[in-house]
Structure 1
Amino acid sequence: MTERQPERATPENWWSPPQGRWTFDQVKDLELPFDWELMDGEIVVRGQTPQWHDMVRDRLFFQLESARRDPLVGNVERCVMVNDRTVIKPDVVLFDKRDLDFFTLECVPAAKVRLAVEVVSPGSEGKDRSWKPSMMAASKVPYFWRIERSEDHLPFVHEFWLNHDTESYIPAPEHPVHKEKLITEFPFPVEIDLRSLVEF
């Protein structure tokens, strides 16, 4: 008797997972007319992001790539596997490339992530400020940055460090909020003119 294969998510059934929850293997090949993440076994729509968000995300990534040190590498909106029912896409991640096969890699294991960055945009405030950082902290990701938009449209960065005892983030002791310039030693030394992220 052959073992029954688990049901796969399709454009017709993605909203109704079997037994109430999908696994990553069931949804990884799913093609929908919108971007999505898997949260606790449910497919959650990722909303459209404004130009400001994408510009800050992409320019930050390029500057981090220029400053990074081995064995860390970065990516934009790379899926991160928290577990087989939760796969999320931080705006930027830096992760340890050792022992990863880049020819077969689908999602970065959360245990490999050293920095996750979320750029807050309308429609994702709750996830970016609460749900995603709590997932990253529970996965022991040591550093998390949350980027907000000021009234004059400049980005400012909240820098968080992992408290290993509570598995939650605390504001970075010396510079919890960076305005005008982001200067930090973690996960590697970097200095970024935040105004340059939105200048034309």
Structure 2
Amino acid sequence: MTAEPIAEPTPEPADERSGTRWPVPPPEGYTVDDLFTLPDLPPHTELIDGSLVFVSPQRRFHNKMMELLVNGLRPTLPGSLSIEREMTVVLDRRNGPEPDVSIVRSEAVTDFTQTRFQARDVLLAVEVVSPDSEARDHNTKPAKYAAAGIPHFWLVEMTEPNQHPVIKTYEIDPVNKTYALTGIHHDRLKLDVPYTIDIDITLDALKKL
């Protein structure tokens, strides 16, 4: 009886400029388990439709806007909820995006070694748009967040030419699993859901950080 030959692993392609070897995806794409077990992935790598998405260096607006939102969300936060920043949310086995800011149920928080949350535990996902992520933040991610049943979604953008922040808020239609626009906020973000929120989002507030 002749033994079947053992297939050699597919070599990883090298980046000729840096010599870096990137992982070759399996034919069916990566899974969330791969996202947390593949070695040497860059920080904040996301999984979208089985493909790894590497995050480019962010603008200062991106980081300061996240800081402004986290600081603004905290004063009225109920004890039943927790604010999380840049944590993976598992939507299904082939999708593990990383919202810039999330509001999750406190009961889903375990300890400081935690690396992910399940979509069912997320009440709000926030994306601050960057030049490299514009299509994903406007189209791909909100569609997937809604399909996974996350009740609220915010999209944060920098307007030109004055670099003023604007926040669009959305709420899910539980029947169709799509988001409906509930407001466009330029100077003050004042809401009753997912809890009472009142945040100064003027350019002056952003510059003070």
- Please report the TM-score for the alignment, with normalisation by the length of structure 2: 0.83
CA contact 2:44–2:86 (8 Å) conserved in 1: no
Shift of 1:106: 2.3
Match of 2:188 in 1: 181
Shift of 1:41: 1.4
For residue 39 of structure 1, what is the amino acid of its counterpart? I
Local SS of the residue matching 1:18:
coil
Larger radius of gyration: 2
Between the aligned partners of 1:52 and 1:110, the Cα distance in structure 2 is 27
Distance change (3 Å), C-alpha of 1:180 and 1:38: same
CA contact 2:146–2:172 (8 Å) conserved in 1: yes
Between the aligned partners of 1:12 and 1:25, the Cα distance in structure 2 is 21
The 5-angstrom pairing of residues 1-200 of structure 1 reads 12=21, 14=23, 16-29=24-37, 30-33=39-42, 35-102=44-111, 105-151=114-160, 152-172=162-182, 176-195=183-202, 196-200=204-208
Shift of 1:48: 1.6
CA contact 1:36–1:45 (8 Å) conserved in 2: yes
Deviation >6 Å, runs of 4+ = none
Q: Encode CA deviations 1:169-200: one digit per residue, 9 max, x unaligned.
A: 0011xxx1111111000111011110254123
Between the aligned partners of 2:173 and 2:205, the Cα distance in structure 1 is 29
For residue 25 of structure 2, what is the amino acid of its counterpart? P
Give me the identity figure in percent: 28
Match of 1:3 in 2: none
**25-34 vs 111-120, which deviates more?**
25-34
Shift of 1:104: 5.6
* Corresponding pairs, count: 188
Between the aligned partners of 1:65 and 1:105, the Cα distance in structure 2 is 21
CA contact 2:32–2:93 (8 Å) conserved in 1: yes
Between the aligned partners of 1:85 and 1:138, the Cα distance in structure 2 is 14
Distance change (3 Å), C-alpha of 1:198 and 1:104: closer
Between the aligned partners of 1:117 and 1:21, the Cα distance in structure 2 is 26
Between the aligned partners of 2:81 and 2:43, the Cα distance in structure 1 is 30
Between the aligned partners of 1:104 and 1:86, the Cα distance in structure 2 is 21
Between the aligned partners of 2:113 and 2:62, the Cα distance in structure 1 is 30
CA contact 2:108–2:117 (8 Å) conserved in 1: no
Between the aligned partners of 1:191 and 1:133, the Cα distance in structure 2 is 23
